[in-house]
A and B are shown apart, each in its own frame.
Chain A
Amino acid sequence: MPFIPHTEDDVRAMLQSIGAASLEELFDEIPPDLRNIQLEMPSAQTEMQVMRLMQQRAQADGEYLSFLGGGAYEHHIPAAVWQIATRGEFYSAYTPYQAEASQGTLQVLFEYQTMLASLTGLDVTNASMYDGASALAEAVLMAVRLQRGPRRVLAPATLSPVYRSVVRAIVSNQDIELIELPYTPDGGTTSLDSLARWDGEPVAALIIPQPNFFGALEPVHKLTDWARAHNALAVGVINPVAAALLQPPGAWGEKGCDIAVGEGQPLGVPVAGGGPYFGFMACKQAHVRQMPGRIVGQTADTDGKRGFTLTLQAREQHIRRSKATSNICTNQGLAVTAATIYMAMLGPEGLKGVAQACHANLIALLQRVTAIDGVQRRFTGPAFHESVISLPVPAQELLERLRDDRILAGLDLSSDYPELGNALLVCATETKDESDLDRYAQELRGALAPIERTAAA
């Protein structure tokens, strides 16, 4: 093993020092049937052979034209973002907890927090969470802690099924009741009428997605005001690119949202294989003591020079233990660093420009596909960068045919929303140009054509 520096003499001396006869003896509490398991591994290859293999695999998989959204979004990432983020000072900095964190790391996190506060329109943010879904689960736990009484949380069916599932997994054994709210069949947004059933009942929080899983824009002002009028906390789940164009959670309703969370991946983090991403969380100042995660603050040293430090640490696990605000301690600092550089490069106007381009592309895509017989928008009303289209055939069939043509055509909604029938969630970000949209429409038309002819006959 070339990467372990100990010689046999070193090992022997260490074993002697601790009184062990052999290395195997150190593992003797592991049952024999679990030790020395032989793995079926191919023989070792050289670095050159492995690189060739990976290149062949990549070529075989090919490049897809992606119209797939549903929680992770393809955006253009300026080359400078990862050039800077992969600098050794950021890339391989050791776990940045208080004592070891460099001022540089803390400053980047402080800048990130400042940008997110500006984007969400709320007072405080933390230095990130594991991902959007678990950030929402943490927000639910936070809301219940803040309310000190009601343990019922209303979660719209228009919230991502993945997020609902993660929240359920995390809160189900903590005596918290999750109630699903139905959506309007025409608009695909949370039914305001369905809220009436909860008048007078104690509700800890109302979750408000914007945009929702269908890409539709929810009536966030009415929903936030309902929450406030019923002593429930409003928890917004937002897309950070959309937030540059739409009203931020801090401006929802009369008094704004209490807590806002979301997935930070669209801000300069590649879609990759589903991760690593990062979750963001922001809240009103009054709630800050119950907010989980690290928080970086600005302070002055004994010479009066500005410095940065982790603050409000008493809420965290190493001090509060089982009563801490969270048990998750995964650090997504590198993804956060990339997002900070991305936001710094684009600025609020640039990010708004990205959002506008996404919106324009979605409208153009929808115009092209709804011109095809049998294809319609499933929901009326405004949408941001993705929307649901109804098809004359099951979405799965279409997806397979279009995948053969190297197009990822969208997300089949039939397993999570069977009531929608043959429905496909299609997404168009700023990465698409006219020829991509034309190609999509053409391929879709071609894939549906035989069905049209049969129907007409």
Chain B
Amino acid sequence: MNVPPALRYSDTHEWARLEGDGTVSVGITWHAQDRLGDLVYIEVPPLGKSFEKGQACAVVESVKAASDIYAPVSGQIEAVNAELASSPEKVNEDAYAAWMFRIRPSDPGQLGSLLSAADYEKLIVAEDH
């Protein structure tokens, strides 16, 4: 079970990590990339755009599906990972190193209401049954 304990998780399979500069890095979990299959394309959110928690802000496309990525916290996009445009397979290789975007949260409290690693593990076990 590949669920790093230090990260926070959404029930839509994004992981979130608070960085030193106050932004939150976001990517998809190992479980998500495993179910999607080989990723072929990632549409990152536009820089500077603001999203509400739970709003669709990015798209990942695999050979068999295209899935929306939802902002785990409300805020404004401060950075996007340009590497993923040419190498989307990096997400399959190491889901937790391949951050997709960094969002500056408008409400820092929201991070705390995301799932802990233990709760996320319970979620994926339940979903797979």
Contacts and interface: CB of A to CB of B under 8 A. Distances in A.
A319 B68 contact: no
B62 interface: yes
Interface in B35-93: 40-41, 43, 46, 61-66, 68
Interface residues of A, number: 8
B65 A289 contact: no
Given A289-B41, A314-B61, A148 B66 contact: no
Contacts, number: 20
Interface string A245-289: 000000000000000000000000000000000000000000001
Contact of A319 (B41, B46, B65): B65
A323 interface: yes
Interface string A316-352: 0001100100000000000000000000000000000
B66 A315 contact: yes
Interface string A176-215: 0000000000000000000000000000000000000000
Main secondary structure of the interface of B (DSSP, over half): strand
B65 A314 contact: yes
A320 B62 CA distance: 12
A320 B46 contact: no
A149 B41 CA distance: 21
Given A289-B41, A314-B61, A314-B62, A323 B46 contact: no
B50 to A, nearest CB: 13
A320 B66 CA distance: 6
Nearest to B63: A314
A317 to B, nearest CB: 11
Contacts of A319: 64-66
A193 B113 CA distance: 56
Contacts of B68: 323
Contacts of A314: 40, 61-66
Most buried by A among B40, B46, B65, B66: B66
Contacts of B43: 289
A315 B65 CA distance: 9
Contacts of A320: 66
A88 B68 CA distance: 42
Nearest to B59: A323
B44 to A, nearest CB: 11
Nearest to B66: A314
Interface in A272-316: 289, 314-315
A454 B43 CA distance: 71
B124 to A, nearest CB: 23
B88 to A, nearest CB: 12
Nearest to B60: A314
A149 B47 CA distance: 12
The winner among A314, A315, A319, A323 for most chain B CB atoms within 10 A is A314
Across the A-B interface, the 9 shortest Cβ-Cβ residue pairs: A314-B66, A314-B61, A320-B66, A148-B46, A319-B66, A319-B65, A314-B65, A289-B41, A315-B66
Given A314-B65, A315-B61, 7 more contacts: A148-B46, A289-B61, A314-B40, A314-B62, A319-B66, A320-B66, A323-B68
11 contacts: A289-B41, A289-B61, A314-B62, A314-B63, A314-B65, A319-B64, A319-B65, A319-B66, A320-B66, A323-B66, A323-B68
